[in-house]
Chains A and B, each alone.
Chain A
Amino acid sequence: MSDALEIAAAVRAGSLKAADVVEQHLAAIDGREPEIHAFNLVMVEQARERAAAIDAMVAAGNDPGPLAGVPVALKDNMCTRGVPTTCSSKILDGWKPPYDATIVTKLADAGAVVIGKTNLDEFAMGSSTENSAFGPTRNPHDTSRVPGGSSGGSAAAVAAGFASIGLGSDTGGSIRQPAALCGVVGVKPTYGYVSRYGLIAFASSLDQIGPLTNTVADSALMLDVIGGHDPMDSTSIPVAHPSLLDAIGEGVEGMRVGRITDLPEGADPDVLERTELAFDALRDAGAKIVDVEVPAFTFGLTAYYLIAPAEASSNLARYDGVRYGLRVEAPDTNAMYGVTRAAGFGDEVKRRVMLGTYALSAGYYDAYYGKALKVRRLIHDEFERAYQHADVLLTPASPSVAFPFGAKGDNPLAMYLCDVYTIPANLSGHPGMSVPFGTGADGLPVGVQVLAGTLCEPQMFRAAAALERAAR
């Protein structure tokens, strides 16, 4: 049994032991983790203890919560108290946070069993998990290929049956793209839907936590648990969100599904073909397909690669060897900063820190960061106009299926293009999700992306559920 909804219902009912669920998943890990490397840390003892505690609660007649006994894999950029949280970086290797992220507390309160911390591109910067300082994760569908990134570990963990649900973070597509490449559902909610307190920041105005799951319903369940206002996060939306689980059965009769006519080119033919079939499926289910324009969509990549590194350059300045993490000794503090950060950060992180520092620096702010913020406004406003004519939009999630290790070569830009379809929703703050929709070249999974307006997760999930039904 892998679906979280089923597991939780059975554990709560007492017909399934959380301990058995954990052992089943640990066995899967034993089997394939050595070749997949989805985890930085498998929390074997903690998971067993937690499962036992859940079972004890049920036996005592208490309800552990809506995720009772569900094994969850957490991306290793979410703070877990007393448990190493590394961001797959040497600069945080071995660091144990003295506090829990808000979502970790919510998971615990809901009865979930955290089974491990998953691998990622270092500090969430990447689209293949090849930038991890601890070695890459391999795609369970074809281990010569990447799982996508930066939440490659969580995507692979769910795809390989190591966990029922994975949590990832999405700044430019880091949940949706690996979900597409691994054939699982991946959701980036509206910015502010899920608390960022305890999520180690990459780009503060773009980051959001979201689920990777086998089913659309499991993602809805997870968002119902982890979503909501958090007083510890000033940017979290102070409204109560309606239950998504309740919304997804409603079908798409009469729903307007937008096709972006000026979408950037570059998607492979197999991906485009599956996307067309997805439009057909929604039409067959009663939706109306409409054309919309988002002319600035194509400039999202540039705006993102100026805004995100700029915020990251500031967010990562705290890794200075003073209070925690790696320190390389030097004769004075200033020198210590330079050698520590050079030793602790990988190439991609250094590159983005440099780009971001430059984009913010005196004399260049207006030309780069300042301009990018205006492009962001343009993209947001164009989406808002599109959502007056369409309830959801449908695009490919990734331009291609999973690619081989090293395929993007030495050219960082080639890698950045992986996120061309996912980035704009981070810039605008709108929600987006990837839904598996068949296979493409070499039998590898293809994901299609459903986009919706601010706090329009219910519509987004309804369309996704319809696609899921059609894909079966």
Chain B
Amino acid sequence: MSAFDGLPGDWELVVGLEVHVELATVTKLFSASPNRFGDEPNTNIDPVTLGLPGALPVLNRQAVELAMRIGLALNCTVQPCTFHRKNYFYPDMPKAYQISQYDQPLNVDGFLALPDGTRIGIERAHMEEDTGKSTHFGGAGGRIHGSDYSLIDFNRAGVPLVEIVSRPDIRSAEQARQYVTELRAILLAVGASDAKMEEGSMRVDANVSVHKPGTEFGTRCEIKNVNSVRSIGRAIEYEARRQIDLLEGGDKVRQETRHWDEGDGRTHTLRSKEDADDYRYFLEPDLVPVAPSAEWIAEVRAALPMLPAARRARLAEAAGVAADSEAAMVVVDRGQDDYVLAVGDAGGDIGRALVHVKEAWADSPSVPAADLAKLTTMEVAGKLTATQAKTVVAELIDNDGGDAEAIAKAKGFEAMAADSLGPLVDQAIAENGDAWAKFCAGEGKAMGALVGAVMKLSQGKADGKAVTALLNSRRA
């Protein structure tokens, strides 16, 4: 598989993504303070959140449930698991350790299928707690560098996270974008998170390396601060080229963490992995293992809704389009697919319904399915031209529904029957001799003038396709 356009030589890109997702629970992971975004600073706090002396964590059952939904939706195995302490100092870390999962995570060995069917392996999806938030003052642009002081808000501390770690199976920036987009759609579908990158409830870090096919994977760098799907692509592409330049210049890629700067479109060194803290992981003594029963896992699995990939496949088959076609992807993403299928159930044509729905509505269609169904039936029966159908749809929307036949009649729309077209076509040929001569000589462009003439003669009631067919047969 080749990389995106522009990657020089035969260099191959290798990307793994680590996505942190905030779970949509009411309370935090280990304490009963609200899990809410946007509240006044330090108003969702308790002894556990602040890491006060003597405080102890107690696990939120709903967080485990949502984490299991994510794991099952990503085709993981759900297994008995434990929590570990990851020890390091940072002011937004109230205990100076983060409770996370280490060698026994909840979900392992799954995959996420991209729209074209390519599977990206999921190594694990484990639970951990979020940190507080620090804001920096005195430096340029609110950055740490050159700041005079920082202020810490612990509202976010203790919010439940699931960290989803992919295998390094991604081979292009476009695949990375698709992975994140699809992952987000899955998270929304199962109700595990609102996954808003702009609010920080979904955060993506990319591990990027390059190599030549047939050789070992190269040294990888971790890229942080990527805050939108578009940035993911830009950052990966920049980083790949940066590494290739280094390697082609005879230098080595240093294993490190880099910070993506959206403003200047580059990554910058944040810290070298070699200086990294020793996290001294050990089993969290204040918590006990979690062993979800087979019944609980089965319940969660059974309650999973149809996932986006399955929805696209279902819609695609019914509408006769490809599952990764733009129409199928857009309509499923907007949640309009059930409606399109309902139009089919009401006797309408699903293919036509798909086209109309995609064009007419950004979200919930406002017209009863049966009404749209009638319209599509008229279309495929040849009673309406495509243009006429669009006009009828517009009227249906204006009135939140209606009788397509009545509307068409009121507007005087009737597609002409093909056999009554013949005389009009002959008349147009007779009246447009030059165009006809050119058309017969093989100039396809002359067709347009002839079709236009027929449309005029028919007062717009001729179906363009039928006219074209007739002209072709006259010429033959």
A residues with CB within 8 A of B: 78-79, 85, 87, 92, 95, 97-99, 101, 196-201, 203-205, 231-235, 310-311, 313-314, 317-318, 320, 322-324, 333-334, 337, 357, 360-362, 365, 369
Contacts and interface: CB of A to CB of B under 8 A. Distances in A.
A204 B285 contact: yes
B286 A235 contact: yes
B69 interface: no
27 contacts: A78-B54, A97-B53, A99-B47, A196-B54, A197-B54, A201-B53, A232-B56, A233-B58, A234-B57, A234-B287, A311-B282, A311-B285, A313-B280, A314-B87, A317-B97, A318-B51, A318-B53, A323-B50, A323-B51, A333-B91, A337-B89, A357-B280, A360-B87, A360-B280, A360-B282, A362-B278, A365-B282
A234 B58 contact: yes
Contacts of B96: 314, 317-318, 320
Nearest to A360: B280
A233 B56 contact: yes
Given A196-B56, A201-B53, A317-B87, A234 B288 contact: yes
Contacts of B416: none
A263 B148 CA distance: 60
Interface in B252-282: 278, 280, 282
Interface centre among B51, B53, B95, B96 (most CB of A within 10 A): B53
Given A99-B47, A322-B152, A361 B280 contact: yes
- How extensive is the interface on chain B, given as a class? 20 to 34
For chain A, what secondary structure do more than half of its interface residues adopt (helix, strand, loop), or is it mixed?
A: loop
A314 to B, nearest CB: 6
A79 B152 CA distance: 25
Given A317-B89, A318-B96, A323-B51, A310 B282 contact: yes
Interface string B40-72: 000000010011111111110000000000000
Contacts of B352: none
Nearest to A333: B91
Contacts of A198: 54
B85 interface: yes
A116 to B, nearest CB: 18
A94 B397 CA distance: 70
B58 A318 contact: no
Contacts, number: 96
Contact of A197 (B56, B97, B152, B288): B56
B191 interface: no
Nearest to A324: B52
B347 interface: no
B58 A232 contact: yes
A235 B97 CA distance: 19
A314 B286 contact: no
A322 B92 CA distance: 9
B95 A87 contact: no
B58 A231 contact: yes
Kindly list the 5 A-B residue pairs having the minimum CB-CB distance in the complex, ordered from nearest.
A317-B96, A204-B285, A360-B280, A205-B285, A200-B53
A200 B54 contact: yes
Nearest to A320: B96
Contacts of A79: 52-54
Contacts of B280: 313-314, 357, 360-362, 365
B94 interface: yes
Given A200-B54, A322-B91, A360-B280, 16 more contacts: A101-B54, A196-B54, A196-B56, A197-B55, A198-B54, A201-B54, A203-B285, A204-B285, A231-B58, A232-B56, A313-B280, A317-B89, A323-B51, A337-B89, A360-B87, A362-B278
